[in-house]
Structure 1
């Protein structure tokens, strides 16, 4: 007679092993979210690879109740990525096991940890793209149908992929610039500009560090300056490369009470839905 399926809590030893091998990071590839915050509070989630109960994602009826709560079937993830991995077609059992293995190996395999300490971290950043863009379509009264919205989403993806090339700290500076620029109409165009000294003071970084971030932003055509490096007065958003987006994204975020940093720094464009 087969046992009745019931959800068992992970044992203390299993939880201890999960915490130790997590590196205090979400196991989803590239996610920097802490599992235990600075106050020692566990803010992560213990997630099943193969579901704990019938109807759960990737439930395996051939597993025993004990198997379902074993270390091999559990991962620590943040709430966002716990929800994202509910897509059982994209995140199969095999894919999640491989993700778990690769993540835990970073904190148990010293050679791997050393080798991976020098790499292009920007490649691990994850873009969350909008699926419908209905939020912006309704707010700005674009009147676009689904086919037109899909084309707009493709344009956003190009913008997002370019943002992804930037270091995380540079995107953070860009988000501050975007928040603080003032729109000014000039002959035949609109400028978005902010004093460089203002960005330096609010971000509390050295002026040379600010110049390094600006050099990257200029390379990727996100910003530009008018004077020499030693005489920077204003920072301008590059409306030529991304015509209309800076103003639209900023206005939408302000009116919907969305943090620009979530979109520009954390690449969460799904908030535009």
Structure 2
């Protein structure tokens, strides 16, 4: 009963018309009977128009349609069970393409791939493992992580110089996404459990989430961020869509 814009489009309709000249008008019915629940149906506009075809939709057929529809909702326990049976894990069917080298990433960011073979294997294993964990995140969690990566900042050392460590300010993400604070907190917890974020404080006590890649010393996530900036790619689409073929 809701359209694509989220507007309720249901209409209260008469099985036997309220006024003379209307579809299926019954002159032997009282006005009270015409207004009674038994003579009313809830339909969308399109079906309301369709049922104006009296030959196709006589009184008996509309009464049977009304009975069938209302029977669905008359047994709350059964209705809830039916609703639950249609719920599925939207992440269960996601297949993530495995990367083999990350060579393109290094060449685009640094101009060359200077890694030793053992380091290539280490990074590929670590990143593919992270992708598997990202794939299991809810769609909102993937999107929040992608936005977080796009707005990441470098840690400053005691000399005020940038280190290789990157973090995201959760309050900034709250402001730019306009998500409810409690809901966003639950999303950050979900992402943190996947191992790509780690909660801690900056030296000044500011709470932040560090963006990390477990099992790897290289800052691959920051390299991906720089890659997208250089190639003018949408990092949110790449990360939330788990489409990393361009960096391999």
TM-score by length of 1: 0.49
Question: What are the ranges of 5 or more consecutive residues in structure 2 without an aligned counterpart?
Answer: 6-81
SS at match of 1:123: coil
Partner of 2:176: 202
CA distance in 2, matches of 1:240, 1:128: 18
Distance in 1 separating the partners of 2:188 and 2:104 = 31
Kept in 2, the 8 Å contact 1:181–1:194? The answer is yes
C-alpha contact (below 8 Å) 1:182/1:193 kept by paired residues: yes
5 Å-filtered alignment, 1:1-273, equals: 117-130=86-99, 133-139=102-108, 140=110, 141-143=112-114, 152-186=123-157, 190-226=164-200, 234-239=207-212, 241=214, 243=217, 244-273=219-248
Q: Secondary structure at the match of 2:227?
A: helix
3-state DSSP of counterpart to 1:119:
coil
Q: Structure 1: any 5+ residue segments left out of the alignment?
A: 1-36, 39-112
Report how many residues are paired.
159
Q: What is the deviation of 1:203?
A: 1.0
Distance (Å, rounded) in 2 between the aligned partners of 1:225 and 1:133:
27
Take 2:145 and 2:198, find their aligned partners in 1: how far apart are those partners? 12
- Cα distance in 1 for partners of 2:122, 2:139 equals 27
From the superposition, tell whether residues 157 and 224 of structure 1 become closer, same or farther in structure 2 (CA, over 3 Å).
closer
Could you tell me how far apart the structure 1 residues matched to 2:195 and 2:117 are?
A: 30
Structure 2 counterpart SS, 1:124 = coil
Please give the root-mean-square deviation of Cα atoms over the aligned residues, in Å. Answer: 3.3
Q: How much has 1:130 moved relative to structure 2?
A: 4.0
Q: CA deviation at 1:152?
A: 4.3
Give the secondary-structure state (helix, strand or coil) at the position aligned to 1:122.
coil
What is the alpha-carbon distance in structure 1 between the residues aligned to residue 167 and residue 177 of structure 2?
16
Shift of 1:131: 5.5
149-158 vs 202-211, greater mean Cα deviation: 149-158
Task: Could you list the structure 1 runs, at least 4 aligned residues long, displaced by more than 4 angstroms after superposition.
Answer: 113-116, 144-152
- Change over 3 Å in CA distance of 1:167–1:213 after alignment to 2: same
- Identify if the C-alpha distance between structure 1 residues 147 and 172 changes in structure 2 by more than 3 Å, giving closer, same or farther: same
Query: What is the TM-score normalised by the length of structure 2?
Result: 0.53
What's the secondary structure of 2:200's corresponding residue? coil
